[in-house]
Amino acid sequence: LPFFLSYPLFFINKGLILKLNLKVKRKVSIVPFEKHDQVVYYTIRFAGEEDTEFDKFFDKYDIDEFGEDFDIITEWLYKIGEEGAIERFFRPEGGRIGAIPVETNRLRLYCLRINECVVILGNGGEKTTRSYQEDPELNEYVQALRETEKHLMARMSSANPRASMYNCQLFGNLDFEIEITPETENEEKK
């Protein structure tokens, strides 16, 4: 075999992990969470689940081990609520996705910042890799928000919008079918 064909096969034989990128469709809804002076927070909930994505984050990390880190996120959400969701308060993760806090923390909470007064909270986790893409779990959380962003924006900007935003609140059909690569099916050994 020519070198350019045999080279990948060599690594497959050595047990290289191949990404299959299996996508699954999931139904998700945007649900209201909390209203502050300057910001209305929403979160997302997958169909058939009782907990929202922010609930899951809350349950996972409101524990002694992350006491101060969780405190910072809790206080930061409050401060942003009072000051407004200014772009610089979020670590940019592409598009309207941002993470809080930008610094001083082991935890990251991923958010979809629609504008200065509407923020959709997602799930989050402990930052152990340089970027979220390197962590399958965090990657899945960001994917869910990114897909939600794509569908929400398309729905709001279409000629016959089925969702809209008025006075810092979202209206209309806020249920979507999104495609994500689940963490458990992301990698398979060959």
Partner 1 sequence: MKKKNSILERRKKVGQDVKNMVAHSMATVKEIYRILDKNGLTQKELAQRLGKFESEISKWLSGTHNFTYLTVGKIEAALGERLIITVSEAPIVMQFYSMTVKQGDDFVMSIPSERGSVLGIDKSQMLLDSEAEVQVEVRESCAQLN
Is 101 or 138 the residue whose CB approaches partner 1 more closely?
101
Least distance to partner 1 from the beta carbon of 89, Å? 5
Does 123 bind partner 1 (CB under 8 A)? Our answer is no
CB 134 within 8 A of CB 166: no
Q: Which sign does the torsion angle of CA 123, 127, 133, 134 carry?
A: negative
Does 46 bind partner 1 (CB under 8 A)? Our answer is no
Q: How many Å apart are CA 58 and CA 168, to the nearest integer?
A: 24
Binding test (CB under 8 A) with partner 1, winner from 18, 23, 24, 71: 71
Q: What part of residues 102-121 is at the interface with partner 1 (CB under 8 A)? A: 102-105
Nearest to 72 by CA among 51, 87, 89: 89
CB 146 within 8 A of CB 139: no
Least distance to partner 1 from the beta carbon of 150, Å? 26
Does 74 bind partner 1 (CB under 8 A)? Our answer is yes
Does 91 bind partner 1 (CB under 8 A)? Our answer is yes
CB 146 within 8 A of CB 153: no
Does 65 bind partner 1 (CB under 8 A)? Our answer is no
Q: How far is CA 117 from the centre of its chain?
A: 18
Does 33 bind partner 1 (CB under 8 A)? Our answer is yes
Is 89 or 132 the residue whose CB approaches partner 1 more closely?
89
Binding test (CB under 8 A) with partner 1, winner from 26, 46, 55, 168: 55
Least distance to partner 1 from the beta carbon of 97, Å? 15
The window from 20-28, 69-77, 122-130, 165-173 that contacts partner 1 (CB under 8 A) reads: 69-77
Q: Is the peptide bond before 101 cis (omega within 30 degrees of 0)?
A: yes
CB 180 within 8 A of CB 28: no
**b/e per residue, 103-119, with b = 16+ CB within 10 A?**
eebebbbbbbbbebbbb
Q: Which residues bind partner 1 (CB under 8 A)?
A: 31-34, 50-52, 54-55, 58, 62, 68, 70-72, 74-79, 83, 88-91, 100-105
